Amino acid sequence: MRLRIVLAVAKTTFREFWRSPEAVFWTYGFPILMAVVLGFAFRPRELPPVPVAVVAGEQAESTAAMLRRHGRFDVEVLGASEADRALARGRVALLLKSRDGEPVLRADPTRPEAEVARLLVERALRDERDGPGVPIASEVEDRPGARYIDFLIPGLVGLNLLGAGMWGVGFNLVQMRTQNLLRRLFVTPMARSEFLLGYLLGRFVLVVPEAAAIVLFGVLVWGVPLRGSVPAMVLLVVVGGFAFSGLGCLLATRPRTIEGIAGLMNAVQLPMWLLGGTFFSNERLEGVVRWAAELMPLTHLNRGLRDVMLEPGGVVDVAWVLAALGAFAFVAFAVAMRLFRWT
Amino acid sequence: MTANVASAEPAIELRGLRKVYTKGKKATVAVDGLELLVQRGEVFGLLGPNGAGKTTTVEVCEGLTVPDAGLVRVLGRQWGNGVDQEIRERIGVCLQETRFHEKETVRETLALFASFYARGRSVDQVMALVSLQEKADARQSSLSGGQRQRLSVATALLGDPEILFLDEPTTGLDPQSRRQLWEVVRAFRAGGGTVVLTTHYMDEAHQLCDRIAIVDHGRIIALGTPAELIRSLGAEHFVDIDVESFEEKLTGDELRALPGVQACEMKTARASLTVDSVHRVLPAVLQLLEERGIRMVGLATRHATLEDVFVHLTGRHLREDSKP
């Protein structure tokens, strides 16, 4: 292993990334943009008014007026067929009809907002008939550590590492293959191991700052807590980065075209975006989907990152995650090296 | 002169080289029992149409492609015998259509490749060799086709190689860029280096190469200096005579019977002659036309080229677009 070669390859790899404004944006800007948008969209607050339709008929207007007074509803009075259509299109969550003078609620129970609407309307009707019941105070959970943004930021770190491994490592390798550059490098006295080490080094110089940028943004702008140990966090980022780089190399072993690697990467990334626990918790999945999620390195990385950020986790608490990701990285690199198409 | 034992060996020795590419059920024989000796210090050209097996042959020499059969010796060494790295230190390779890192400058690209070699030339020396000093700090993406190609050759020169491989080095370049590259090759040879190049340009082969192997269907069908190959045609000149019409006033056989004429192809208004010397044949032809009262409207003579050699050997042209 000749250090001068490793460093020369690392320097080139680093410069090639740093000089691509678009790559820098998608690496640094995009996750932060996502943190802003999703943080705003899912910030803790009262539910918006529930859209409800009262089917035209006897007492329809007075019922509608009563619901409006209640303050939690967005009420329309519609003809029967118009009301059905509004329900089918999801423009209203629930229909309130009257049959033989008794109120009837119609809604699709599989839609969560319908269930909320039903409970609220039932309570409003009951209060109207029996007078207000026991007053119950309610609080909005908005303490740092329990909000959606607190859940999201560690997930974005994980997702960013996945992207770095896919696009930064895998995609670029295939691009170099299509440019005939891999072959050109291969006919020099440089060893493959020297190239690979330098290449990963060039990428890894940036992995920790990338993760740090997202975490820092979360901490400073949203007040996301960082309760665990920083060394554990750094270890997770580095080992997780290696795991995804290994995956990137593995995907890059055979494809000869940009389209080939892009398709392959999408096929691998999409399930992880959906089930890897970045945007939605995957702790309560069941059956096959549960198994699939448990097999994903992103699931474990995200879990480890949350242990360290949202709970006072240390290196020992995430040791198992580190070991699993490390083993994944080792196997991925080993297989990739055997199958890699240099020429 | 002191005899150097190593340089007594040929630069490249290929024996019974064979390579078959299999795609699905279809097998294509790229190289079919090719034999070749390239001596040290010569510029050796592999000339042939696209798909003749030139690139496969040089890639086998470069250690990029493993042959199915045959012996390959580069500088007396064989690939895969634990000496691969030693061979790579001593050769320089310029592949077809290599695109280097787009955002790197000429100097940075060369510095990367320079780091691979244990010894060799400096980045500045190599930039001077290919006249790219002025572009030293220009990024790859801003270079012209000719400049990119010179950069590609420059990366191959960094290790101060004994053999320089150039695969279609001037394809797609303008005439000036081609001549610039030829100068680089000539300078390398003048310094004692061996060059192996492939081309489908007959003028390039003629101008640049000491010896040429004409390759077709994975075999060498002719080998020699450009002059030898052309002489092998038995005639070195062509004369095209355009007339209003021959109208049976003159037959091809009569032209063929003139001294110095080797072949004659006759159409209603054109006779194409293959001759050994123009000055001997032309007066006789002109006299014959005048006697028969045939009015000439055009006359063209040209030297035989390697293209004619290829056509003579295969009945086809080197490049599909060069058909008359």
- Quick: pLDDT tens for A137-161: 877 777 888 888 999 999 999 999 9
> What is residue B4's predicted lDDT score, i.e. its pLDDT?
47
Which run of H or E residues covers position A31?
helix A30-41
Confidence category of residue A271, pLDDT binned at 50, 70, 90: very high
Dist. CA B100–CA A184, nearest whole Å: 9
Search chain A and give the residue with CA nearest B116: A190
CB burial class (10 A; 0-12, 13-18, 19+) of residue A25?
A: exposed
Question: Per-residue DSSP letters for B128-140?
Answer: HHTT-GGGTTSBG
- The mean predicted confidence, pLDDT, of chain A is 90
| Tens-place pLDDT, residues A328-338 | 999 999 999 88
Over residues A156-177, the mean pLDDT reads 91
Distance of CA B25 to the CA centre of its chain: 33
| pLDDT at residue B92 is higher than 60 | yes
Distance from CA of B121 to the nearest CA of A (A): 15
Angle between helices A148-163 and A192-217 (to 10 degrees): 160
| Strands B43-47 vs B194-199: parallel, antiparallel or unpaired | parallel
3 state SS for B204-216? HHHHHCCEEEEEE
Is residue A315 a contact partner of residue A335, using CB atoms and an 8 Å limit?
no
> What is residue B89's predicted lDDT score, i.e. its pLDDT?
96
Distance from CA of B137 to the nearest CA of A (A): 14
Dist. CA B47–CA B225, nearest whole Å: 12
Q: Which residues of B touch A180 (CB under 8 A)?
A: 95-99
Confidence category of residue A13, pLDDT binned at 50, 70, 90: very high
Q: Which residues of B touch A343 (CB under 8 A)?
A: 64-65
- Which of the residues B58, B109, B112 would you substitute to probe the A interface, choosing the one with the greatest number of A C-beta atoms within 10 Å? B112
| Phi, psi (degrees; rounded to nearest 5) at B37 | -130, 120
Q: Which residues of A touch B64 (CB under 8 A)?
A: 183, 186-187, 343
Question: Per-residue DSSP letters for A102-138?
Answer: EEEEE--TTSHHHHHHHHHHHHHHHHHHH--------
| pLDDT at residue A301 is higher than 90 | yes
| Tens-place pLDDT, residues A63-89 | 888 888 887 889 999 998 999 999 999
**Biggest alpha carbon distance in chain B?**
76
Dist. CA B112–CA A273, nearest whole Å: 37
> What is residue A227's predicted lDDT score, i.e. its pLDDT?
93
Q: Tokens 């955002």 map to which residue?
A: B103
CB contact under 8 A, A16 and B100: no
| Tens-place pLDDT, residues B120-152 | 999 999 999 999 999 999 999 999 999 999 999
| pLDDT at residue B3 is higher than 50 | no
Contacts of B120 (CB under 8 A, 6+ apart): B114, B158, B159, B160
Q: Which residues of B touch A20 (CB under 8 A)?
A: 103
What is the dihedral sign for C-alpha A300, A304, A307, A313? positive
Dist. CA A298–CA A240, nearest whole Å: 8
Q: Which residues of B touch A187 (CB under 8 A)?
A: 62-64, 88, 91, 93, 95
B41: left (phi over 0), alpha (psi -120 to 50) or beta: left
Distance from CA of B175 to the nearest CA of A (A): 25
What are the beta bridge partners of residue B12? B38, B74
Is residue A243 a contact partner of residue A326, using CB atoms and an 8 Å limit?
yes
Coil, helix or strand at residue B154: helix
Closest listed residue to residue B90, CA positions, set B71, B107, B109, B77? B77
Dist. CA B281–CA B260, nearest whole Å: 6
Angle between helices A297-309 and A287-295 (to 10 degrees): 80
| Phi, psi (degrees; rounded to nearest 5) at B53 | 110, 10
| pLDDT at residue B5 is higher than 60 | no
CB < 8 Å & 24+ apart, contacts of A113-122: A113/A50, A116/A47, A116/A50, A117/A50, A117/A51, A117/A52, A117/A93, A118/A94, A120/A50, A120/A72, A120/A73, A121/A52, A121/A67, A121/A73, A121/A94, A121/A96
Distance from CA of A169 to the nearest CA of B (A): 15
| Tens-place pLDDT, residues B260-281 | 888 888 888 898 888 888 888 9
Distance from CA of A173 to the nearest CA of B (A): 12
DSSP state of A79: -
Of A70-74, A309-313, B55-59, B224-228, the poorest mean pLDDT is in: A70-74
Over residues A200-223, the mean pLDDT reads 89
CB contact under 8 A, A16 and B101: yes
What are the beta bridge partners of residue B302? B238
Of A105-114, A313-322, B171-180, B194-203, the poorest mean pLDDT is in: A105-114
Confidence category of residue B324, pLDDT binned at 50, 70, 90: very low
Q: Tokens 């008929």 map to which residue?
A: A57
Q: Which residues of A touch B91 (CB under 8 A)?
A: 187
CB contact under 8 A, A184 and B96: no
Q: Order of strands, edge to edge, in the sheet holding B270-275?
A: B261-266, B270-275, B237-243, B296-303
Q: Which residues of B touch A9 (CB under 8 A)?
A: 112, 115
Residues in A whose CB is inside 8 Å of some CB of B read 4-5, 7-9, 11-12, 15-16, 19-20, 179-181, 183-184, 186-191, 343
| Strands B12-23 vs B26-38: parallel, antiparallel or unpaired | antiparallel
pTM of full prediction above 0.95:
no
Distance from CA of B101 to the nearest CA of A (A): 7
Coil, helix or strand at residue B89: helix
Q: Tokens 């295939």 map to which residue?
A: A174
CB contact under 8 A, A188 and B102: no
Search chain A and give the residue with CA nearest B103: A16
Dist. CA B222–CA B203, nearest whole Å: 17
> What is residue B321's predicted lDDT score, i.e. its pLDDT?
55
Residues in B whose CB is inside 8 Å of some CB of A read 62-65, 85, 88-89, 91, 93, 95-104, 108, 111-113, 115-118, 155, 159
Dist. CA A291–CA B205, nearest whole Å: 64
Contacts of A100 (CB under 8 A, 6+ apart): none
Picking from B62, B65, B115, the nearest residue to A4 by CB comes out as: B115
Closest listed residue to residue A22, CA positions, set A220, A188, A168? A168
Q: Order of strands, edge to edge, in the sheet holding A94-99?
A: A73-78, A50-55, A94-99, A102-106
The token pair at B33 is 């029992």
